Amino acid sequence: MGRDESYFQTKKRVDNLKTFYIHLTIYILVNLMLFYFLSSELAIFYFNYKN
């Protein structure tokens, strides 16, 4: 395995980890917003109004 090949494998792994953590962060933020909305009084008013 050459030095360049090792560098590109490491770069690919870092890029994959970076992408994973970006998606994980977005997933957590969206779920926190949904939890906040569904647990707030606004959601209770909205669902009572619709029914």
Residue 44 lies in a domain: yes
Residue 45 lies in a domain: yes
Residue 4 lies in a domain: no
Please state the domain count of the chain.
Answer: 1
Residue 12 lies in a domain: no
Give the per-residue pLDDT at 50.
58
Cα–Cα distance for residue pair 5/8, rounded to 1 Å: 5
Cα–Cα distance for residue pair 3/14, rounded to 1 Å: 17
Residue 10 lies in a domain: no
**pLDDT < 70 stretches in the chain:** 1, 43-47, 49-51
Residue 8 lies in a domain: no
Note down the domain range covering 32.
Answer: 23-51
Give the per-residue pLDDT at 49.
63
Cα–Cα distance for residue pair 41/51, rounded to 1 Å: 16
